[in-house]
Amino acid sequence: MENPPDPNADRRVLGIANQLSLFRLCVTPIFIVVFILGGTTGYAIALAIAILTEITDALDGYLARAKKETSDFGKLVDPMADTVAHFSVFLCFLWGGYAHLWVVALIFYRELLVAYIRIAAARSGFVLAARLSGKLKALTQGVAILATLVLILRTPQNDPLAVEVTKVTAQHLMVLVAAVTLWSGVDYVRTGFPLLRSLLRRKT
């Protein structure tokens, strides 16, 4: 016997929490454009977008719980919006010389691996909850992004030495991000490995 339709399903999907997640997805291309354009105005807008992104990231989960608007759609779109927003910023930093290629690659592979672990866990009937390492990873990335954008905005772009100092400083910040991201990835693999092994046993 099929379950009756949930009359509150549409309200949860269209709730403020999911709107904030979708907002992050929509402003990400704008961030890329203004960062590439550069200049004081471009970097100021990029910083403003990054601040809004971090604020909405902190708010959407809280609002979803407070308003009882949690939904399967929200569980999908929220982490996707976070990953797309942060990774887009790191790509911009790579393009501008503020991050090394290996750092951006490590972040990419960590996100891909964790996403696969979550899918495998779901297929095994388990829900892999957000871990402390993941939250610290997101916090570290957010702080490093804002700090780097502030440094870029305060750097005279017509001063090659100042620009180079900013790039080196940003690259050191990105190494810290890489270290925390790697630690988080190892933590998720360690936690999710039994689930993956269980899934493989079922297939065989």
Residue range 133-143, pLDDT digits in tens: 888 998 999 99
* pLDDT of the residue at 126: 66
Assign 78 to helix, strand or coil: helix
Residue 65's pLDDT band (boundaries 50, 70, 90)?
Answer: low
CA 105/CA 178 separation, integer angstroms: 9
Whole-prediction pTM value? 0.82
For the chain, the domains span 9-203
CA 148/CA 118 separation, integer angstroms: 31
pLDDT mean over 121-129: 65
We find that the CATH architecture of domain 9-203 is: Up-down Bundle (1.20)
* pLDDT of the residue at 107: 93
* pLDDT of the residue at 2: 45
Pick the more confident residue, 36 or 21: 36
8 A C-beta contact, residue 131 and residue 191: yes
What confidence tens digit (pLDDT) does each residue in 72-118 have? 666 667 777 888 999 999 999 999 999 999 999 999 999 888 887 77
8 A C-beta contact, residue 15 and residue 65: no
What confidence tens digit (pLDDT) does each residue in 175-186 have? 999 999 999 988
* pLDDT of the residue at 16: 78
Number of separate helices (H) and strands (E) present in the chain: 7, 0
